[in-house]
Amino acid sequence: MLEGGEPLYLEDASQAPEALFFSGRPSRAAYLGVPLRDAEGRVLGVLSADTAEQGGGLLPEDRHLLLALAEAAGAAIARLEALRKAQGEAERFRALAELSARLEALEDPEAILKEAMEALWRISGFQMALFSEATPEGLWTRVVTGEPPEAWLTQVRHERQPLKRGLMGQALLTGEALYAPSYPDHPLALPERVALGLKSAAHMPVGLFGRTVGVLSLLDFRRAYREDPLPLLGFAARRLERALEKAQTLQQLRQTREEALKGLGVALEYRDLETAGHTERVTALALRLAEELGLGEPALTELRLGAYLHDLGKLAIPDPILKKPGKLSPEEWERMKAHAILGEEMAQRLGFLPPATLEVIRHHHERWDGSGYPDGLAGEAIPLLARIFALADVYDALTSERPYKPAWSREEALAEIERQAGRQFDPELARAFVRQLREGYGG
């Protein structure tokens, strides 16, 4: 009946060799089976009635009633199935909308890929989701989420799949999505993946700025799928592309902007009496100490930008004062000290520098004991990044030759920093800075 899809009525089921009786003993009984269908006519099951307990036959009105019940039950089941499907689709669209919002808020490409793969795995129902990046050496798995079999992980960890091989390679080559609900039966199936038990796979090419850069994939080693996942995969791929393009554009803008700021810092060396390479040296020294202290990437970026622009205010200091080889008069010294405030004001006008960077520019001449300038801050009231940079700036000044002084040796400069710990410098930072430099030189 399931195969034929037609009602079956037996006046005496005991005469049917395929009939089974729960009592184990065949007896004269009528049987009526009516297929239950969904809205598309697919058979969902069978509604049955028999007279095995009471014997006798089924009246025509009983048979008509059962047919009507089967039709009503099929319609109800179809409505429930449609409701379940609609609810599932609504939940899927809600999850995709949330994914879009999360991707828009991210700026790191790696974080974007991980977020997209995690969401795609949860929404799709597939065993795993992954992004494979196209390189000259082949496709390599960059991000994978879900429950990948260990044998698969071992296999892909040591390989670069040729760009033109398999379904994934075909998707990359043609720019078209591919879905293999029964992977072993697909003509492009890779024997090594079939051997691992891959049941179904879907692949969607991902492009950036008009160039295909990788493939978004859904894999399952447990079962084959009937529902086409390509619409979902396509939606996720387009959102991923948009987020990655935005992140790449922002990254390029930041790099260009940072190179410009670094160039400005280097240009200041030519106007001041700084030796060539001062900006790069103090930046490297400050970042090295900050990294040892465990500061994260945002703080390192803020410090790096502050190091580039720490003497920006000297652009407003007249040459006779800035380049004076001898001792400055009290009036000249007051003008010179103003460069810290002037530098902060000039940097603020750029409009994009973080507050911590502005603090480095303003406060890198403050002293731990409160005798520095421009605000006379003391102790931990001095921003941390400014305290870090002050050590690098003074050390480089001491070890560099100037028209008014010879260069100090490394050990002389470190000894001076030790003497000034607790007066000019944060004592803990000074100890870490000195230790770092001595260990770095094998001292």
Q: What is the pLDDT of residues 185-227, one digit of tens each?
A: 999 999 989 999 999 999 999 998 988 999 999 999 998 877 7
Q: Domains for the chain: give ranges and CATH numbers.
A: 8-87 (3.30.450.40), 106-244 (3.30.450.40), 272-440 (1.10.3210.10)
Look at residue 86 and tell me whether its pLDDT is greater than 60.
no
pLDDT score recorded for residue 442:
42
pLDDT tier for residue 21 given thresholds of 50, 70 and 90:
low
**DSSP code, position 228:** -
Report which of 171, 124, 128 is spatially closest to residue 146, judged by C-alpha positions: 128
Count of CA atoms in the C-beta half-sphere (13 A) of 174: 12
Task: Mark whether 164 is an active-site residue.
Answer: no
pLDDT score recorded for residue 225:
77
> Among residues 164, 199, 246, 314, which one is catalytic?
314
Whole-number Å distance between alpha carbons of 166 and 411: 63
CA–CA distance from 53 to each of 9, 31, 69, 279, 403 (Å)? 17, 12, 21, 98, 116
Lowest-confidence region among 187-201, 340-354, 393-407 = 393-407
Three-class DSSP labels, 328-376: CCHHHHHHHHCHHHHHHHHHHCCCCCCHHHHHHHHHCCCCCCCCCCCCC
Whole-number Å distance between alpha carbons of 133 and 131: 7
Across the chain, mean pLDDT equals: 84
Against a cut of 0.75, is the pTM above it? no
